[in-house]
Amino acid sequence: MSEVNFEFGSLILHGDSAAGQANFDADLNPDVRNATTNADLTIYLRVFLQRHDPPTGTTTYPDSDGNQVPIRAWTDLEWTRFTGRYQRETTQFWNGKFWLRTPDTFHRLDWPSTSPTHRCNVYCRFEMSTVATADGAHAIIPVVRVNGRHTFRSNALLYSHLDIEAEQYPQSRSRFFTHLHEVGHLLGLAHPGVAANTPGCTAGDEMACYAADPDSVLGLGSTLRDDHVQPWQKAASLLTGTREADWTIRRSREYPRRI
Ligand SMILES: [Zn+2]
């Protein structure tokens, strides 16, 4: 049995997912570090996917735009496949893509603890769990099974069975996957036009919010951008008592440096 190191404690953020605020747990594990291995900063998201089967006499469900879309009951096999892929694919997409370079002024990740020779950085990990009850879940998300060929407009807190499938928007050079995009929102990330202050976007035009960077996973594609490291910067800052901007992003493994 290895001991859990509580040196940096655990972070529990209780933002409002519906308002696009970060709502997740995180911990910084320094135990894995050595002269070539960084500390792990893991963000944990627990999502309760709520299987929605239409009650007797009901055949539609209102989508995010308020349109009544035909739905039917899930089969057990469809449901198992959906939740399994959701968990796997969102983890695969958001886990292990970023590193944060430890600031020169921060010594608590130096290794070894006595007479340190190296300053370790931070590896940004992500773990999605799909949980069976609403208790302790960061998000409760009804998921409907659309009946036939209909469009169902989803959002961060409402899905359909189509949301794990690829879509191709003419504006984007990469394919779009709703589940990868919506998990970005659960992490607290906004559409590209919000950060860029694109005029149409600030006026409430959603397409203008995507158009600021259509290839981005928070736009209409599946490309990660540097500013998508922000949830981990926020966690690092809160867990270590430093500023978010002190932690600079690396897109490839940044080895511990000699000190
Ligand atoms: Zn969105």
* Alpha carbon of 189 to ligand 1 centroid (Å): 9
* Alpha carbon of 258 to ligand 1 centroid (Å): 42
Where do the domains of the chain lie?
12-250
* Alpha carbon of 44 to ligand 1 centroid (Å): 20
Give strand pairing partners of 47.
130, 139
Query: Which residue type occupies 94?
Result: W
* Alpha carbon of 259 to ligand 1 centroid (Å): 43
* Alpha carbon of 180 to ligand 1 centroid (Å): 10
Q: What is the pLDDT along the chain (259 residues), one digit of tens a residue?
A: 344 556 787 888 878 877 778 889 999 999 999 999 999 999 999 999 999 999 999 999 999 999 999 999 999 999 999 999 999 999 999 999 999 999 999 999 999 999 999 999 999 999 999 999 999 999 999 999 999 999 999 998 999 999 999 999 999 999 999 999 999 999 999 999 998 888 888 877 888 999 999 999 999 999 999 999 999 999 999 999 999 999 999 999 999 999 9
Among positive and negative, which fits the CA dihedral 223, 226, 227, 232?
positive
Max CA separation in the chain (angstroms): 72
3-class SS string, the chain? CCCCCCCCCEEECCCCHHHCCCCCEEEEECCCCCCCCCEEEEEEEEEEEEEECCCCCCCEEECCCCCEEEEECCCHHHHHHHHHHHHHHHHHHHCCCEEEECCCCCCCCEECCCCCCEECCEEEEEEEEECCCCCCCCEEEEEEEECCCCCCCCECCEEEHHHHCEECCCCCCCCEEHHHHHHHHHCCCCCHHHHHCCHHHHCCCHHHHHHCCCCECCCCCCECCHHHHHHHHHHHHHHHCCCHHHCEEECCCCCCEEC
* Alpha carbon of 181 to ligand 1 centroid (Å): 6
* Alpha carbon of 110 to ligand 1 centroid (Å): 39
Please tell me the predicted confidence (pLDDT) of residue 6: 61
Structure tokens at 3: 């001991």
Measure the CA–CA gap between 126 and 91, rounded to whole angstroms. Answer: 6
* Alpha carbon of 185 to ligand 1 centroid (Å): 7
Q: How far, in Å, are 195, 210, 250 from residue 91 at the CA level? A: 25, 23, 19
| Residue with the two structure tokens 């794990």 | 164
* Alpha carbon of 74 to ligand 1 centroid (Å): 25
